[in-house]
A = this chain, B = another copy of it.
């Protein structure tokens, strides 16, 4: 039986990488060769072609890709069709997919989300991000589905944004911030979910912009894989990443989106005229560089 955390461990080892590449397509930022029309179908096709170029050029450097579902939903059913095709393509080249949807609900509705993203339907990837505000009732349906199907989940824990503290850092009567209480819950939810790698298929999202808390959370959650956004564009630096990893450099996945998929915009003011080969080369270099930057702190 496959286990999501073991799959992640294997990919990290084989690719010598902790990089995840965000697939956040924004058609207005595409070079002209991808702009072939403005109907929903044409935009959906452009998104798929863009994602294919990304996938082909990051597959050697990235442990997984992470589609941000909002960027597909905004184009309705044609956007979702582009996501389906993207997921199928990633699967065809053996690249893991973490759907970033931050989904959350209870009971049969949570089960329906779990079926959608952790089942065997057209939107299913290898893992899904979820929001824990509803408590165990909102988490267990995802855990059950993930267990049966060898998939993973990442619960939001401490997010990368400036106002994440409004709720997440709020001090409880025991003097501790809320996110530490949630970390304890994540430990509870992880019982019986640990693979051979020593890691659980129940992961957590912890922003790179708060390295100060990473050390504490890494200690509290030694079996939890962290999905770490905020590296690069949101202001987190490579040095900030060190405390997220275990001593062997595993246990954390670092997401970079804009810094890689739109790297071509920093190459030249003339980027809209770039052709596919130019795009491919720039994206490949950016992914390779991001992997190196991250690796520089993984094992030192």
Contacts and interface: CB of A to CB of B under 8 A. Distances in A.
Number of copies: 2
A235 to B, nearest CB: 12
A135 interface: yes
A117 B79 CA distance: 13
A159 B110 contact: no
The DSSP consensus for interface residues of chain A is: helix
A110 B172 contact: no
Interface residues of A, number: 62
Contact of A173 (B112, B121, B172): B172
A77 B83 CA distance: 9
Contacts of A119: 74
Given A80-B77, A121-B76, A175-B173, A68 B109 contact: yes
B70 A112 contact: yes
A20 interface: no
Interface stretch (A57-65, A99-107, A194-202, A277-285): A99-107
A79 to B, nearest CB: 8
Contact of A71 (B106, B112, B135, B160): B112
A264 interface: no
A112 B121 CA distance: 24
Interface string A92-130: 000000000011111111101101110101110000000
Contacts of A71: 109, 112
A109 B173 contact: no
A269 interface: no
A178 B178 contact: yes
Given A70-B109, A102-B104, A109-B71, A159 B134 contact: yes
Contacts of A112: 68, 70-71, 73-74
Contact of A102 (B83, B131, B162, B167): B131
A8 interface: no
A132 interface: yes
A24 B115 CA distance: 15
A84 B74 contact: no
Nearest to A160: B106
B166 A122 contact: no
A46 to B, nearest CB: 16
A150 interface: no
A133 B132 CA distance: 8
Contact of A137 (B75, B133, B156, B164): B164
Nearest to A234: B107
A188 to B, nearest CB: 10
Q: Give the 4 A-B CB pairs with smallest separation, nearest first.
A: A135-B166, A135-B163, A76-B122, A70-B112
17 contacts: A40-B122, A70-B105, A70-B113, A73-B80, A73-B112, A73-B116, A73-B123, A76-B84, A77-B77, A133-B133, A134-B159, A134-B164, A135-B164, A137-B162, A137-B163, A167-B182, A170-B178
